[in-house]
Amino acid sequence: MERVIIFDTTLRDGEQAPGATLNTEEKLEVARQLERLGVDVIEAGFPIASPGDFEAVRLIAREVREPVICALAHANAEAIDRAWEAIKEAKRARLHVFLSSSDIHLAYQLRMGQAETLELARDMVARAKGYLEDVEFSPMDATRTSHQFIYQILEAVIEAGATTVNIPDTVGYTTPEEFSRLIRGIFENVPNIHKVVVSVHCHDDLGLAVANSLAALTCGARQVECTINGIGERAGNASLEEIVMALRTRRDFFELTTNIDTTQIHKTSRLVSELTGFSIPPNKAIVGANAFRHESGIHQDGILKEPTTYEIMDARSIGLPSSTLVLGKHSGRHAFKAHLEELGYTLTEGDIERAFSAFKEIADKKIEVTDRDLESLVAEEMRTTSEAYHLEQVQVSCGDRSVPTATVKLITPDGEVIADAALGTGPVDAVYKAINRLVGVPNTLTEFSVKAITEGIDAIGEVTIRIESEGRVYTGRGASTDIIVASAKAYMNALNRLLAVKGKKQEV
């Protein structure tokens, strides 16, 4: 079977989703997991966008060796030079150049004509080609561009040295039938198209990103640009896990394959969700909590008799655990470590020790610790590895006959223990006011949500918040059997991210 190249842009387009900002360490962590997942190309970022983005791309290029490491650049000499500087140490590198092509973009953004655009695209691809062999070009807003101009610009950039040409549905405007006509037309009307890989990059504004991507594959496209959990600008991108599992499950129809280790999908999805703060809807295909659950009596009866009556995929194929091992307060370190490995987590001895201590605390409060509890616990430990301020203690007093009061104790970057107390309209408000008095970073709380990780009165609660400072959004998550503690952890997580960004700005 022919192979489809999986081009993951979670770290570039995915991170452009409002509130999804990742720090350098988190980007590297995601990139390493994408490497384990088996993606062919990682678009690591947009180096010209900021010094932080440049450093993250450069670090990934140095540390992640198996996938092609790609950097995005608009059709500008400085951007291309900067992108090359970021990826030049990669084992395998790619430069991705893009330029608007639709009439509406040319008129209102570039203020250029088609002839000038054609010349610029050719020149900038040639400039990128001067640095390396692997060059990709994207005519932005291709699905609202005249087909004849798409044919012209693709022929020109291929002559200039492009090895991949990507057809983006930038605003999620097209439909599968319409997109298929465009892809077929490219193969029929671009004389040198046989020299390159044809790629597609679809957005989900009309909920058609995956359908459009799969339709393009049936017409000859052999690279798909996608993100974990479908995150990205506005309504997001085509979802990697949905595309990969569609090709795997319907191999009889598509007759295509990928290099993806599908057993890493669940872990990758959870990692990206944890780090970006974007919860996965329960009904999300492949990775949603309900994707392999059945409530209907008829469905349950069928599943018990023969799983394939209502399940077209085996949950284990995406890395969901099949073990029935139950962990509790009497479980030992060995069983704990073994079960984490079964769930797909490989931690250092130091991380294991911290996670095991946290597990014991939870196990004292819960009769049974579930896999979801463990995943939340591990994610919590990962969140606390790069703290400026550490939450040491939270104590609250509240009730319908008292004024909510909170006392908070933090450990500063210098190791000093500081404490303060505050009154609030409720216990969480009091906690946040006390923290603000200690940290002293102006911000606005824009979102606060709570959900239970598992069922039951002893469930771990997970709090997700978003705060805004100087026009930028920061996400924080925290988990605990005590929802007030979880709220405090989430706020500290967001504040530490804010402080990390401020620190980088000051360094620059």
Shared domain for 55 and 31, answered yes or no, is: yes
Shared domain for 451 and 491, answered yes or no, is: yes
Answer with the residue of higher pLDDT: 231 or 361.
231
Shared domain for 403 and 484, answered yes or no, is: yes
Does residue 151 lie in a domain region? yes
Does residue 282 lie in a domain region? no
Q: pLDDT at position 224, please?
A: 98
Strands (E), 21-163: 41-45, 68-74, 93-100, 135-140
Q: pLDDT at position 394, please?
A: 96
Q: Please tell me the total count of domains within the chain.
A: 4
Asked whether residue 444 carries a pLDDT value surpassing 50, the answer given is: yes
Does residue 284 lie in a domain region? no
CA distances from 477 to 11, 283, 341, 413 (A): 19, 21, 24, 20
Q: pLDDT at position 258, please?
A: 98
Shared domain for 451 and 482, answered yes or no, is: yes
CA distances from 373 to 192, 309, 328, 377, 380 (A): 54, 30, 11, 6, 10
Assessment of whether the complete model's pTM goes beyond 0.85: no
1 HSE (CA, 13 A, CB side): 15
Minimum mean pLDDT range among 199-203, 232-236, 373-377? 373-377
pLDDT digits (tens, 9 = 90+) for 111-165: 999 999 999 999 999 999 999 999 999 999 999 999 999 999 999 999 999 999 9
Q: pLDDT at position 323, please?
A: 46
Does residue 281 lie in a domain region? no
CATH number at residue 12: 3.20.20.70
Strands (E), 301-434: 390-397, 405-411, 417-423
pLDDT digits (tens, 9 = 90+) for 319-352: 886 544 456 767 777 777 777 776 667 777 777 7
Q: What percent of the chain has pLDDT over 70?
A: 91
Shared domain for 105 and 207, answered yes or no, is: yes
Does residue 160 lie in a domain region? yes
8: containing domain: 2-276
Shared domain for 233 and 138, answered yes or no, is: yes
Shared domain for 64 and 213, answered yes or no, is: yes
Shared domain for 330 and 449, answered yes or no, is: no
